[in-house]
Structure 1
Amino acid sequence: MQYGICNLSIVPLRKEATDTSELVSQVLYGDIFKILEQRKNWSKIRLAFDSYEGWIDNKQYLETTEEQYKYLHKETPKLCIDLVEFIQDTNQQLHPIVLGSTLNALSILNHSHDGNIVEGKAPKENIIQSAFLYLNAPYLWGGKTPFGIDCSGFTQMVYKLNGYKLLRDASQQATQGEALSFIEESEPGDLAFFDNNEGVITHVGIIMKDNYIIHAHGKVRIDRLDHSGIYNVDKKMHTHKLRVIKKVI
C-alpha cells in the first residue's frame, strides 16, 4: 500500500481518471490518503478523514511513508481557522491555503505557518458560529471551501472545524447520530436531512435557533425550517422536504 499527502490548497477529487470527469469532492492542504491504484497520470485514493474515494492528478500530491501516514492519522487535526492564509516553503515562497486545511504535516512538508489554528473538540454552541464563516459561499457540487461548497461539504467542514467527523455525502451523514422525533427536540447544531420524490436523501443543513436553518442551496444561506421542510424566504415557497433530524453531538 502506498500513501500520499496533499501539498496544494484545493485539489479536485474526480469520479474518473480524467480532468473532465465529475468533481465528487476536494482534497485540501494537509489531507492524507491511501493510494489504491496508480496510473500514468492519475491515482485512485481513499481519504483518511472520511474514507471517501476518487481520482487525483499525480502532479497534485506528494507520496509519503506508511509511518508518516499512521502518525498523522492518529494526531488530533490542527486546522486553519482563517478564511485564507499562506504557508511558506524553504525557498520563502508563499502558498495559499483555505479555511479547514490541516496543518499537522508542516514539518514533513518543510513548510511554516503563523496563522490562526484550532484543534480539539469545541462546545456544540460553536457549530453555528463556524457555519457563519461560510455564509454566502457559492454552491459548488463537490466543493468544500468558502469559494464553493455543496450541502454536505458544508456540514462536514463545519463539524470538522469543531473536532467532529461527518461522512462526505448527505445520505452517508444521515446514518450518523440519533434520530429525533420532532423539530422541537432539536438544538442549534443538529442536522436536518431532506429527501427527493423517490425517498433518497439528497440535502442536509444545520439547524439554528427559532426554527431557522443554514444550508448550501445556490449559496450558503439562512431559511426557515418547519415540519414540512425548508421554506425559502426569498422565493416564498418550500424547496426541500424534511425527512429526518439527527443529533450527532
Structure 2
Amino acid sequence: MLSLVPMRAETSDKAEIVTQMLFGECYDLVARDGNWVRVKLATDGYEGWIDHKQHNPVTSSYYQEWASTKHPRVMDLVQVVTGNDTRIPIGIGSYLPFFDGMSIRVNDETMVYNGRASNSTASATTAQLVKIASNFIKAPYLWGGKSIFGIDCSGFTQQVFGICGYQLPRDAYQQVSHGEEVHFVTQAQPGDLAYFSNDEGRIIHVGIVLEGQTIMHAHGEVRIDTLDHNGIYNAERKRYSHNLRIIKRITF
C-alpha cells in the first residue's frame, strides 16, 4: 500500500505518467509485461502500467465490495493512516475504504485514520466545492498528476468533484461530455466547469469558475485568473493563455 502510484503509458520508468493511483483505490489487472502490470482503475476506467513492486493485489470479494460502495475521501492536505506496523502518508482526495469514523479496511488489514473525511452520503454545495478547490491553490503543475504535490488541469477538477461526490472522467476532453451548457460567460456560476480548446478545436484544458468572472485552474500551478468570453487572461504575462470553448454546469 502506497500513498500514490504513477501509472505510465509504457513499460518504463522513463515513460510518460498518464495518471496516478491514489491510496485506497482499487483496479483491475489487465495485462503483464515483465516487471510491469497494466491496470484499469475501478473509479474512472483509466488504464496504465505500474511497476510490479507497487502492485497490491486484493481478494475478488474485497474488490466487488469496494466497487459497490461509495467511499469517503481525505479532506486534510496531508494525513497518515496507521496499521500495526505501518504508517502511510496520504494526501487530500485519497480514498478511505469502509471508513467508520475511526478506521479503514484495506483488503484484510484494518488501519486507523484520525483526520477529516468527506461525507460519502451527501452532495456538496457550491460553496463547499469552491472551498475544497481552494485547498489546491499553489499545487505545482504535473502532467498526469492528481495530488497536492503535483496535479494537472483535469486531475484538479476530477479530484475536487470526486471529493464532493461526483465522479468525472480523467481527461478534459472526456469531462466536457458531463453537465448542461452555459451559453454565456456572464451567466456562469461558481462551480461551473470552463473548457478550452486548441487551434484544431480539441479540448485541452479545464478549470473551475469562481465569483467575479474568475477561474481556478492548473497552469504552472493551481492559480486564479480572469475569465471572459475570449478565455483565460493572465494578468502577470498580460496575455490570454487559453481560448474558451464551452462552459458546462453539473448538478449534483
Q: Does TM, normalized by the shorter one, top 0.5?
A: yes
8 Å Cα contact 2:156/2:218 also seen in 1 = yes
- Larger mean CA deviation between 103-112 and 161-170 belongs to 103-112
In structure 2, what residue type is equivalent to 1:71?
A: E
Task: Name the TM-score, length of structure 2 as normaliser.
Answer: 0.93
The correspondence for 2:77, drawn from 83, 102, 111, is: 83
8 Å Cα contact 1:130/1:158 also seen in 2 = yes
Q: Counterpart of 2:220?
A: 218
Aligned-pair CA distance for 1:238: 0.7
CA–CA separation in structure 1 for the residues paired with 2:236 and 2:130: 21
1:147 matched to 2:149? The reply is yes
Deviations 1:16-36 (A, max 9, x none): 111111000111100101111
CA–CA separation in structure 2 for the residues paired with 1:143 and 1:119: 24
Percent identity, aligned pairs only? 43
1:96 matched to 2:92? The reply is no
CA–CA separation in structure 1 for the residues paired with 2:209 and 2:74: 24
CA–CA separation in structure 2 for the residues paired with 1:204 and 1:95: 31
RMSD across aligned positions (CA): 1.1
Task: Name the TM-score, length of structure 1 as normaliser.
Answer: 0.94
Q: Counterpart of 2:12?
A: 18
8 Å Cα contact 1:80/1:99 also seen in 2 = yes
Aligned-pair CA distance for 1:236: 1.4
CA–CA separation in structure 2 for the residues paired with 1:28 and 1:243: 30
In structure 1, what residue type is equivalent to 2:5?
A: V
Structure 1 stretches of 4+ moved >3 Å: none
Deviations 1:145-178 (A, max 9, x none): 1111000000000101111111100101011111
Q: Counterpart of 2:51?
A: 57
CA–CA separation in structure 2 for the residues paired with 1:101 and 1:158: 11
The correspondence for 1:126, drawn from 122, 125, 128, is: 128
Aligned-pair CA distance for 1:51: 0.5
Q: Counterpart of 1:170?
A: 172
Deviations 1:119-163 (A, max 9, x none): 222112211111100001110000001111000000000101111
Aligned-pair CA distance for 1:80: 0.9
8 Å Cα contact 2:37/2:55 also seen in 1 = no
In structure 2, what residue type is equivalent to 1:244?
A: I
Q: Counterpart of 1:135?
A: 137
Q: Counterpart of 1:74?
A: 68
Long gaps (5+) in structure 1: 1-6
Change beyond 3 A, Cα 1:195–1:124? same
Q: Counterpart of 1:244?
A: 246
8 Å Cα contact 1:8/1:61 also seen in 2 = no
Aligned-pair CA distance for 1:73: 1.1
CA–CA separation in structure 1 for the residues paired with 2:118 and 2:55: 24
Long gaps (5+) in structure 2: 99-103
1:112 matched to 2:123? The reply is no
CA–CA separation in structure 2 for the residues paired with 1:214 and 1:114: 30
Aligned-pair CA distance for 1:40: 3.0
